[in-house]
Structure 1
């Protein structure tokens, strides 16, 4: 077995183990938390500094995408699988996104080592392109990762990919779709700045998904973006429609940063046009109005049910009134009879007295 094939099989097994391990849950909404600066920064240092200039593009090899990140990249909750669907061949990439991951935990759980192994293996016949997107969990106060530590960790990741013969592309974190007074909350602004700073320090490309997605969310509005939410209480993770939309956005940003990738990704389509126009994207006949239509359908049913309940209550009241009326009538009749009996007794007593 060739070394590259062996590494691929081993990586796939490790990926499956990490992907479906207990406790692999999606990131939680937690904002507007801010990273803290301090002496206990969680910075993962690179054992040996990587050179700042490696050209993996020599030989014009086809790209192989390795997608690194948290649950906004991962399968079922992020844009990663959608991006791989846009590649020229379905096997031209692996989604290594992991729910709940930070720039520290991703290493601690062994996922980063597998990504580097993949990079080394695939560089023989491909250009390994490693997209790296973190921030949704690193920014939480309980992560222990400062802004400085976040930047250093990303820079070191980029340098290690370059050393392994791959092409790192840092990605600013996907914007959350939470609104305050019709304006999307910019809860990851500091992380966006640090991602860009890390890319500059490492001498690598970056794409600003945070700004692009936030601008689009602003144009579409709260009701429009609701059709992309994983559920009604989750404005961070993506349902299948959201995956398609933001994967298309990532693909277009990648081509803008690397025009040569255009031949390896599906060309711009109607989704790209709608994103550019700030319009809601409909997939398979579904639209953002569908939940409202279903709600409207449910309202008459509910009103009908409420009407039935009210009618039953009214019927019950009528029956109760009838019963009360019958009781009152019976009581009145009984009272009259008792009064008549008493009057009769009194008359009899008066007659007895007269006879005496």
Structure 2
């Protein structure tokens, strides 16, 4: 009796194994799906933890695209290349197996004067550097997209101080000249921040402002966050204090906390869907 049971069990198992071996042959062949890649290149206003890039990759890119954030704090169009970061980005662009690779390039903050080893000449060097980024990205098989720099959030008498306008305009001209898709983040972000006003815009910072700073914002003007017990009622010169490397976890009018990162990453995603229709299926509104 036991022998018959074991013989029957063996027969069932062997039949199941045979079926498992033959079943895949009956299935239609799998259709390979190639993912795309999105590479972010820029400064601290794009990098993780102090810019919009972390939120963009986490919440606005579908699983059908790899999102690689290679932005570095304090970098300009000159220093990003000089230190070798651009070589890393080019290597990512040349990686095979992706259906398409886009590279988003946003500079301007650290190309401004007053930053030794970083600043570039607005009339000559800055646009020349951008052209080279575009040309080399295309040669590497990627599609470059230029972004104008995220606005700073400094106000005087209720009016936003748009100190990055000249750099944004230079980027627009290069984009038009080389027929590169453009996300005019500077204009979009500046318009949105001005509409909100200084007090509401302070929510975008990494940490809340000091009491004196909050009071000045309610009056329509931004002042430097106090480092001592008493604040000096002077505008904060963000162009001078923006660090090389990771942004300090402190209140300022340039870098972004979670609320700011979410707000501006959605702005970038929405603008990309219009400027680059081919990216639309890969973006989450």
Task: Give the SS at the match of 1:246.
Answer: helix
Is 1:139 matched with 2:112?
Answer: yes
Q: Deviations over 1:231-256 (max 9, x none)?
A: 33301000011101100000001001
Contact persistence 1:155–1:201 (CA under 8 A): no
Is 1:253 matched with 2:271?
Answer: yes
TM-score (norm 2): 0.70
**Higher percent of residues as helix:** 1
Structure having the higher Rg: 1
Which whole-Å CA distance do the structure 2 matches of 1:175 and 1:103 have between them?
Answer: 17
Is 1:202 matched with 2:190?
Answer: no
Which whole-Å CA distance do the structure 1 matches of 2:85 and 2:271 have between them?
Answer: 26
Which whole-Å CA distance do the structure 1 matches of 2:99 and 2:105 have between them?
Answer: 18
Task: Give the SS at the match of 1:157.
Answer: helix
Task: Give the SS at the match of 1:236.
Answer: coil
Q: How many residues align?
A: 207
How far 1:211 moved relative to its partner? 0.2
Is 1:89 matched with 2:107?
Answer: no
Which whole-Å CA distance do the structure 2 matches of 1:225 and 1:128 have between them?
Answer: 34
Contact persistence 1:84–1:90 (CA under 8 A): no
Closer/same/farther in 2, CA of residues 144 and 219 from structure 1, 3 Å limit: closer
Comparing 142-151 with 131-140, which one deviates more in the overlay?
142-151
Is 1:211 matched with 2:229?
Answer: no
Aligned to 1:150: 126
What RMSD in Å do the two structures reach over aligned CA positions? Answer: 1.6
Contact persistence 2:159–2:194 (CA under 8 A): yes
Contact persistence 1:175–1:214 (CA under 8 A): yes
Task: Give the SS at the match of 2:144.
Answer: strand
In structure 2, list runs of 5 or more residues that go unmatched.
1-32, 210-250
Which whole-Å CA distance do the structure 2 matches of 1:190 and 1:181 have between them?
Answer: 22
Aligned to 1:189: 165
Contact persistence 1:68–1:95 (CA under 8 A): yes
Matches within 5 A, 1:95-134: 95-122=69-96, 124-134=97-107
TM-score (norm 1): 0.56
Q: Larger RCO: Structure 1 or Structure 2 (Cα < 8 Å, ≥ 6 residues apart)?
A: 2
Aligned to 2:51: 78
Matches within 5 A, 1:246-325: 246-267=264-285
Which whole-Å CA distance do the structure 2 matches of 1:190 and 1:224 have between them?
Answer: 26
Which whole-Å CA distance do the structure 2 matches of 1:76 and 1:90 have between them?
Answer: 24
Comparing 220-229 with 64-73, which one deviates more in the overlay?
220-229
Task: Give the SS at the match of 1:141.
Answer: coil
Task: Give the SS at the match of 2:152.
Answer: coil
Task: Give the SS at the match of 2:268.
Answer: helix
How far 1:177 moved relative to its partner? 0.7
How far 1:201 moved relative to its partner? 2.5
In structure 1, list runs of 5 or more residues that go unmatched.
1-59, 268-356
Q: Deviations over 1:273-307 (max 9, x none)?
A: xxxxxxxxxxxxxxxxxxxxxxxxxxxxxxxxxxx
